[in-house]
Amino acid sequence: MIKIKNLKKKFGKLEVLKNIDMNVKKGEIVAILGPSGSGKSTLLRCMNLLETPNDGEVIFEGKNILDKNCDINKARQNIGMVFQNFNLFPNMSVIDNITFAPIKGKKMDKEDAIKIGEQLLQRVGLIDKKYAYPSQLSGGQKQRIAIARSLAMQPDVMLFDEPTSALDPEMVKEVLDVMKELAKEGTTMVVVTHEIGFAKEVATKVVFMDGGYIVEEGTPTEVFDNTKEGRTKDFLSKVI
Ligand code: ADP
Ligand code: MG
């Protein structure tokens, strides 16, 4: 579904991604781990061109999205993204947050969009918050709405950038539970996370990054129980 080849990204003179190769297959759950500043968010943001790489290829569903002829807006509609800080529209109700992109971006009929929105609210357990505003929600509820909003576009892949890092501890589980459900349903997901338990239980592939490189990757058993690289061992010893 996503093939990244020789990807490089610099900010000024700072080389943040140095020759990244990565594949995400349909139905795969990829967990990306690594210390702060290692380039995890930048890599995720390059996957939907929120950042423009300096070199390399990002092939999404067979098309290089860096190609000038590629309709990036169309590709983006199929790539959902959930951020650490939710990024809900503060001036819109929950249902408007969820239906905005389908109606404006996909020209979906308003009634259909609301129906889909209601189904998604049921799925994330927040149908009673349909007319609430983001300021009236807890962090965990905001993040579940942000996930529902992303899913409303019916994307082929979901990208999550530390979706539970801004949450109070007691709210982490409700968000991870929604993500586990998505995983069970076969949603293709790339998740930057420090939740080792989640990565162990749910990921089909674990990628460890450090200093702009992928240092190690493999199944959860390979990376967590038979760690090869010193840098990975060092990181895991600090977070587990
Ligand atoms: P991570 O998500 O692993 O913590 P990031 O991808 O956010 O790492 O950042 C990697 C490096 O790139 C850091 O040194 C960060 O300061 C730098 N960086 C990220 N975004 C920008 C930007 N927009 N401008 C300049 N430097 C940036
Ligand atoms: Mg980050």
B/e letters for 51-80, b = 16+ CB within 10 Å, e = fewer, are bebeebebbbeeeebbeeebebeebbbebb
Task: Name the residue with the closest Cα to ligand 1, atom 5.
Answer: 39
Instruction: Pinpoint the alpha helices (H) of the chain.
Output: 40-47, 72-77, 94-105, 110-123, 139-151, 169-184, 196-202, 220, 230-239
The alpha carbon of 153 is separated from its chain's Cα centroid by a whole number of angstroms, namely: 14
Q: What is the pLDDT of residues 85-106, one digit of tens each?
A: 999 999 999 999 999 999 999 9
* Ligand 1 atom nearest to CA at 51: 23
Which position has the token pair 């569903």?
61
> Does residue 36 have its Cβ closer than 6 Å to ligand 1?
yes
pTM for the full predicted model: 0.96
- Would the ipTM clear 0.95, i.e. be above it? yes
Mutation test of ligand 1: which of 15, 16, 36, 190 has the most ligand atoms closer than 8 Å to its C-beta? 16
Q: Consecutive 10-residue runs of the chain (240 residues): their mean pLDDT? A: 97 97 97 98 96 96 92 92 97 98 95 98 98 98 98 97 96 97 97 97 98 98 97 94
User: CA torsion sign, 180 to 182 to 185 to 188?
Assistant: negative
Q: Which two tokens stand for residue 20?
A: 């990244």
